[in-house]
């Protein structure tokens, strides 16, 4: 398994009269890590929801290895794609291990028990996010960062060829942020991930798509996307971008003060 190909084609999503996403096209080749960046409200989560089949496109398509994701049987799609999103507690008292075991469901028949191979995959997934010691704990009583790591483990146990993640590191301490993103890079899967931390996005992603007001404003390798001009235009901030001498990745330093000639920064407003 080395990942699947994702193609989002001229996708438009609306809620009532509002456009959440307009005419967005995006590709991810097998094994690529693709980052979605953009200010609050720019449409990142909405776009991901259309990819993992929660928000139905008004127009456009989501193709996974050429097949229309919205036409595939749910179970079949779940054997290919896993999603990690911000989730509240389960409301039922499940252990961490039981939550991660749910990742195996698409690969089993109703009432099938866990096999030795399932147990091994669950253990491996827990270890990959440094959560082996949480296995017996109640999921609903975990901290935000612990819960986030367990949800990533559940997705890993699903053995997806395509992994879609919405801000998977927002609750994590810095060590776990680096470990999780490093682990995502090494997965034999295609990864589509929304990230707010632009330096982490620059270091860990092969390519970025920058969203602004529900549209892709630019895309390409991080060094081409994360320019002072883009950061001024999209986020309304002043920034310098250098190439880090050791990592070779672009490194953004934010500076106080509004960028020259920029309109005041503010959350994105979707256009109606």
Ligand X SMILES: Nc1ncnc2c1ncn2[C@@H]1O[C@H](COP(=O)(O)OP(=O)(O)OP(=O)(O)O)[C@@H](O)[C@H]1O
Binding positions for ligand X, rule: CB under 6 A: 15, 18, 20, 38, 40-46, 270
| Minimum CB distance to ligand X, residue 95 (Å) | 29
For residues 70 and 127, which CB has a smaller minimum distance to ligand X in the complex? 70
Q: What is the smallest separation between the CB atom of 272 and ligand X, expressed in angstroms? A: 10
Residues belonging to the chain: 272
CB 145 to ligand X: min, Å = 18
Is the separation of the CB atoms in 271 and 15 below 8 Å? Answer: no
Contact 182, 129 (CB under 8 A): no
Nearer of residues 137 and 171 to ligand X, judged by Cβ: 171
Q: Which is nearer to ligand X, 222 or 270 (CB)?
A: 270
In whole angstroms, how close is the CB of 248 to ligand X at the nearest point? 28
Cite the beta strand spans of the chain per DSSP E: 6-15, 18-28, 33-37, 59-64, 67-68, 81-84, 162-166, 190-194, 207-212, 215-220, 238-243, 250-255
Q: Is 68 helix (H, G, I), strand (E, B) or coil?
A: strand
What's the alpha-carbon Rg for the chain, to the nearest Å?
Answer: 19
Minimum gap (Å) between residue 133 Cβ and ligand X: 30
Q: Residue 79: helix, strand or coil by DSSP?
A: helix
Identity of the residue, 126 or 225, whose beta carbon is nearer to ligand X in the bound complex: 225
Residue 32: CB atoms within 10 A of its CB come to 17
Question: Residue 18 or 229: which CB sits closer to ligand X?
Answer: 18
Q: For residue 43, how far is the Cα from the chain centroid?
A: 13
């Amino acid at each position: 398994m080395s990942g699947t190909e994702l193609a989002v084609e001229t996708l438009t999503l609306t809620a009532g009269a509002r456009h959440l996403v307009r005419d967005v096209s995006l590709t991810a080749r097998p094994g690529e890590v693709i980052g979605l960046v953009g200010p609050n409200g720019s449409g990142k989560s909405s776009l991901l929801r259309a990819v993992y089949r929660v928000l139905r496109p008004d127009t456009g398509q989501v193709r996974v290895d050429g097949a229309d994701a919205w036409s595939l049987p749910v179970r079949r799609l779940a054997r290919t794609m896993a999603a990690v999103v911000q989730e509240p507690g389960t409301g039922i008292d499940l252990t961490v291990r039981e939550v991660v075991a749910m990742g195996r469901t698409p690969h089993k028949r109703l009432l099938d028990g866990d096999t030795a191979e399932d147990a091994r995959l669950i253990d491996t997934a827990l270890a990959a996010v440094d959560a082996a010691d949480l296995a017996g704990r109640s999921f609903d009583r975990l901290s935000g960062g612990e819960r986030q790591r367990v949800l990533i483990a559940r997705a890993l146990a699903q053995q997806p060829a395509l992994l879609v993640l919405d801000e998977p590191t927002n609750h994590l301490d810095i060590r776990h942020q680096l470990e999780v993103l490093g682990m995502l890079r090494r997965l034999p899967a295609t990864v589509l991930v929304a990230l707010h931390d632009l330096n982490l996005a620059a270091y860990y992603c092969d390519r970025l798509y920058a969203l602004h007001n529900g549209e892709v404003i630019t895309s390409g390798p991080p060094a081409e996307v994360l320019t002072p001009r883009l950061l001024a235009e999209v986020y309304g901030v002043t920034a310098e971008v250098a190439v880090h001498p050791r990592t070779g990745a672009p490194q953004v330093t934010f500076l106080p003060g509004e960028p020259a000639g920029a309109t005041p920064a503010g959350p994105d407003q979707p256009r109606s």
